[in-house]
Amino acid sequence: MKTIKTIIAAIVVVCGLTAVPANAQFRIGPKVGINVNSLHFNDKTFDSDNRVGFNAGVMTEFTVPVIGIGMDASVMYVRRNSTIIKGDGTDVRDNRDYIDIPINLKYKLNIPVISSIIAPYLATGPAFAFLTSKRDFKDFRNRKCDVAWNFGFGAELVKHLQIGASYGIGLNKAVGTSDKSIEGKNRYWTVTAAYLF
């Protein structure tokens, strides 16, 4: 039921993209990057080490000229790696693959003269990640859908190349035991580069 609600929420947000004014600029292009992921558990006897993963996909952007407000949406293949450290000091590695759909409200600072070379931006919005790897590990099970909220910043260089960083806070449980006594949420930094045409 939660997955259905998440999919409906994603559809509503995507439909909101169609409300962008007709004079908005639409661009699309490839996007790649790395992420550093850790899990935050509700049980203090478990901990997680940061581990590096990667992401790659396609990004679209709608921007209203002059005021710099717009939205971007991506479809990304994401590998999130985690090391779970148990209370006895032993650890378990967990590698999870997702199709991630981040949707951001974005504000670009249009500074006269400089904005044709560099335009800083701020972005925030939800991300819906759907698990594609089915492998569970030890006593833990991976959840099929991971919802997070991203806060990001970056800069657009020469009106095409966007370099950005964002921090994602998991809103639901990404992993947990079958009895739900121990559950963990994702927290991750993502650094990406996108080239938009």
Question: So what's the pLDDT on residue 12?
Answer: 56
Question: So what's the pLDDT on residue 23?
Answer: 57
Label the pairing between strands 161-170 and 175-177: unpaired
Task: Report residues of the chain scoring pLDDT below 50.
Answer: 17-20
Tokens found for residue 118? 């560099």
Cα–Cα distance list, 84 to 91, 93, 162, 178 (Å): 5, 6, 33, 16
Question: So what's the pLDDT on residue 18?
Answer: 46
Q: What angle do CA 161, 164, 169 make, to 5 degrees?
A: 150
Q: What angle do CA 126, 127, 131 make, to 5 degrees?
A: 150
Label the pairing between strands 47-49 and 69-85: antiparallel
Question: So what's the pLDDT on residue 17?
Answer: 47
